[in-house]
Amino acid sequence: MIRFVRSLSGGAQIGVWMLVAFVALGVLGPMLAPYSVDIQSSALGRALAPPSGAHWLGTDSNGVDALSQLMWGAREALEMSVVVVTAGALIGLFYGTIAGYFGGWVDGSIMRFCDMLQAFPGILMNIAIVATVRKPSLGIVMIALIANGWVGYARVARAQVLSLRERDFVDAARAIGATPWRIMRTHIAPNLLGPLMVQMTFGVGSVIAIEATLSFLGLGPQLTYTWGAMLDQGRTFLYHPGFLTYALAPGLAITWVVLAANLAGDGLRDRLDPKQRGR
């Protein structure tokens, strides 16, 4: 793993280690958080407290420590990005491979359905799905993001399969009597992992940015410590003395992950597809 990271460009290496730091915070954050994020256990007397030795980033309007919220929010961001990106990639791989291999009306039907999903603004579809319940949970938000998030992976998979299905090793598999499903599973799908890994890396930043947007609009998971919810509350009290750090912290955290995903994605694309180098 370390040897592969060292083979990437300088910017890509920085992006990978930034992602590693995000994953570490998401895994260890709740265990390292200095305070509880439970509103009921917080003291109202310390509401909107400025940064201090006891509360490095201050507290929110309920007296909850902002640094603890940031760490717990990293766990939610990591969980959501992993689930949404993995599910979207698997669904997209399945339908994209089928469309590219069989072609004809199968390809046309799947791609036209993808066109319909992409023609509708993505964020509006996410909002429409989340708005179907009164208090959306983390699971509902994940479903909303997966609903149209798989389309990009399907298009990448289809484009690769259109080329792979004409290769000699696929013709050889057909000649010995391998079924289409076996060919797709054994010979084609493994060759799609590289392009999908690049797409998944970019997807991590997109998922976190969209979730933050939904939470900022009050349509995200009903949790006070997601990064989007912290941004929303930070905007409300932006001009309160000493409260600026509460808005800056989650904004910088989101920027960190999105930048890391883009740097790592660019590096992986160059590493796995040398033709992209220098473009």
List the structure tokens of 225.
């410590």
Mean pLDDT of the 111-127 span: 91
What is the Cα–Cα distance from 249 to 255, expressed in whole angstroms? 10
What is the Cα–Cα distance from 7 to 12, expressed in whole angstroms? 9
Mean pLDDT of the 24-37 span: 92
In a domain, 263, yes or no: yes
SS3 273: coil
List the structure tokens of 62.
């309920």
Interval 123-139: pLDDT, tens: 889 999 998 888 888 89
Interval 183-231: pLDDT, tens: 999 999 999 998 999 999 999 999 999 988 888 888 888 788 899 889 8
Mean pLDDT of the 86-100 span: 96
Burial of 207-241, coded b for 16+ CB within 10 Å and e otherwise, reads bbbbbbbbbbeebbbbbbbbbbbbbbbbeebeeee
In a domain, 13, yes or no: yes
Mean pLDDT of the 260-269 span: 91
What is the Cα–Cα distance from 204 to 131, expressed in whole angstroms? 23
Confidence of residue 232 (pLDDT cuts 50, 70, 90): confident
Residues of the chain above pLDDT 70, percent: 94
What does the mean pLDDT of the chain come to? 88
Q: How many domains does the chain have?
A: 1
Relative orientation angle of helices 138-164 and 193-216, to the nearest 10 degrees: 150
In a domain, 271, yes or no: yes
Distances (CA, A) of 126 to 16, 74, 123, 205: 29, 21, 5, 16
For residue 26, give the nearest of 219, 266, 253, 267 by alpha carbon.
253
In a domain, 134, yes or no: yes
Per the DSSP assignment, residues forming a β-bridge with 63 are: none
In a domain, 4, yes or no: no
Residue 153 · residue 96 · CB < 8 Å: yes
Per the DSSP assignment, residues forming a β-bridge with 65 are: 59
Top-confidence residue, 42 or 248: 248
Residue 216 · residue 200 · CB < 8 Å: no
Range of the domain at 255: 9-34+60-276
Half-sphere exposure of 35 (CA within 13 A, CB side): 23
In a domain, 54, yes or no: no
pLDDT of 278: 47
Relative orientation angle of helices 66-102 and 10-32, to the nearest 10 degrees: 130
User: How far is residue 154 CA from its own chain's centroid?
Assistant: 16
Top-confidence residue, 105 or 6: 105
What is the Cα–Cα distance from 53 to 85, expressed in whole angstroms? 38
Q: Over 90: is that where the pLDDT of 269 sits?
A: no
pLDDT of 1: 66
In a domain, 116, yes or no: yes
In a domain, 204, yes or no: yes
pLDDT of 273: 65
pTM above 0.85, yes or no: yes
Q: For residue 216, what is the domain's CATH number?
A: 1.10.3720.10
